[in-house]
């Protein structure tokens, strides 16, 4: 069973606010990811981490930032939210492997609406 948790599940905020989406996993996975998904569209990788103090930008340009101070925690922050940030944000993790990423375990997602 996957143990990866995201909070908040739903958030409605005004333009210009700073927000942090939390993601925690209890599986001891080194690799963690943030994907963005709009309705009916593919998941786009926006950030990933291979371990503590490791963060990389993904394929989709994003104004968000991430940090990885602890293995189990991978928060995503938007300094100044805009309506274009309205989307579903999915956090995922995977076990370490020498040659491939392996199965991703996803959290339930954080649905963000910026007014």
Partner 1 sequence: GQNIDQPTEMTATEGAIVQINCTYQTSGFNGLFWYQQHAGEAPTFLSYNVLDGLEEKGRFSSFLSRSKGYSYLLLKELQMKDSASYLCAVSASGGSYIPTFGRGTSLIVHP
Interface with partner 1 (CB under 8 A): 33, 35, 40-43, 45, 48, 56, 58-59, 90, 99-109
Cβ nearer to partner 1, comparing 50 with 82: 50
Minimum distance of partner 1 from residue 108's CB (angstroms):
5
Cβ nearer to partner 1, comparing 17 with 58: 58
65-66 sheet: strands from edge to edge: 4-7, 19-25, 76-78, 65-66
Closest CA to 108 of 21, 49, 41: 21
Cβ nearer to partner 1, comparing 17 with 30: 30
Question: From residue 112, how far is each of 11, 38, 55, 86, 115 by CA, in Å?
Answer: 5, 11, 22, 5, 10
Minimum distance of partner 1 from residue 98's CB (angstroms):
10
């Amino acid at each position: 069973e996957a143990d990866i948790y995201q909070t908040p599940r739903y958030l409605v905020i005004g333009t210009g606010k700073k927000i942090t989406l939390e993601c925690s996993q209890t599986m001891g996975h080194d690799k963690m990811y943030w994907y963005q998904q709009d309705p009916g569209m593919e998941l786009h990788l926006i950030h990933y981490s291979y371990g503590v103090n490791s963060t990389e930008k993904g394929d989709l340009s994003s104004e968000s930032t991430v940090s990885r101070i602890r293995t189990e925690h991978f928060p995503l922050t938007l300094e100044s939210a805009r309506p274009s940030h309205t989307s579903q944000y999915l956090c995922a993790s995977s076990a370490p492997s020498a040659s491939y990423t392996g199965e991703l375990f996803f959290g339930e997602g954080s649905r963000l609406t910026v007014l």
